[in-house]
Chains A and B, each alone.
Chain A
Amino acid sequence: MRTIPAAIAVLMLAVLPIAAPWLQFVLTLAIAKGFAALGVAVLLRAGLISIGHAMFFAASAYGVAFLARAGINDLGLLLILSVLAGALAGAVAGSFLVRYRAIFFAMLNLAVSMVFYALCAKLYGVTGGTDGMPVPVPAVFGIVFAEPVFKSVLFYLSLALMVLVGLAVQRYLNSPLGHALSAVNTNEIRLEYLGIPVWAVLLIAYVISAALAGLGGAIAGFAIGRVVPDFAFWTASGHLVLIAVLGGIGGVPGAFIGALFLELLHSAAVTVTDSWNLIVGMTLIIVIMFMPQGVYGLFARKEASSL
Chain B
Amino acid sequence: MTRPILEAKGLHVAFNGVKAADDVSIAIHDGEFLAIIGPNGSGKTTLLNICTGYIRPRSGSVLLDGHDITRLSPRAIARRGVARAFQIPQLFSAQRVIDNMMLALAATDGLWSAVRPLETATRRDEAKALLDLVGLAGDADRISSALPEGHRKLLDIAVALALKPRLLLLDEPTSGVSALERFPLMEALMSALRQRGITALFVEHDMDVVARYASRVLVWNAGNIMAQGRPDEVFSNAQVRQRVVGVA
Q: Which residues of A contact B (CB under 8 A)?
A: 171-172, 174-180, 182-183, 185-187, 189-190, 192-197, 204, 297, 300, 303-304, 306-307
Contacts and interface: CB of A to CB of B under 8 A. Distances in A.
Interface string B95-120: 10001001110111011111111110
A307 B171 contact: yes
Nearest to A198: B75
B183 interface: no
A307 B86 CA distance: 6
Given A193-B74, A195-B108, A297-B94, A307 B49 contact: yes
A180 B87 CA distance: 23
Contacts of B110: 176
- Main SS at interface, chain A: helix
Nearest to A204: B114
Interface residues of B, number: 42
B81 to A, nearest CB: 10
B78 A187 contact: no
Contact of A187 (B93, B99, B102, B106): B93
A180 to B, nearest CB: 6
Contact of B104 (A189, A192, A194, A300): A194
A176 B94 contact: no
B90 A190 contact: yes
Contact of B116 (A175, A186, A195, A204): A175
Contacts of A306: 88
Given A175-B114, A187-B93, 4 more contacts: A174-B118, A177-B111, A190-B90, A304-B88
A3 to B, nearest CB: 17
| Candidate in A176, A178, A189, A192 with the most chain B CB atoms within 10 angstroms | A176
A104 to B, nearest CB: 21
B109 to A, nearest CB: 9
B155 to A, nearest CB: 11
Contact of B103 (A171, A174, A180): A180
B79 A182 contact: no
A175 B118 contact: yes
B78 A185 contact: no
Interface of B: 45, 48-49, 52, 54, 73-76, 78-79, 83-84, 86-88, 90-95, 99, 102-104, 106-108, 110-119, 159, 163, 171
Given A186-B94, A195-B108, A176 B113 contact: yes
- Main SS at interface, chain B: loop
Contacts of A307: 45, 48-49, 54, 86-88, 90, 171
A300 B110 CA distance: 29
Contact of B84 (A186, A187, A193): A193
A190 B86 CA distance: 9
Contacts of B73: 192
23 contacts: A171-B115, A172-B114, A176-B102, A176-B106, A176-B107, A176-B110, A176-B116, A177-B111, A180-B103, A182-B95, A183-B103, A186-B91, A186-B94, A186-B95, A189-B74, A192-B73, A194-B103, A194-B104, A195-B79, A196-B75, A303-B90, A304-B88, A306-B88
Contacts of A174: 117-119
Given A171-B117, A183-B92, A187-B92, A176 B49 contact: no
A298 to B, nearest CB: 11
Contacts of A300: 94
Contacts of B115: 171-172, 175
B75 A192 contact: yes
Nearest to A196: B107
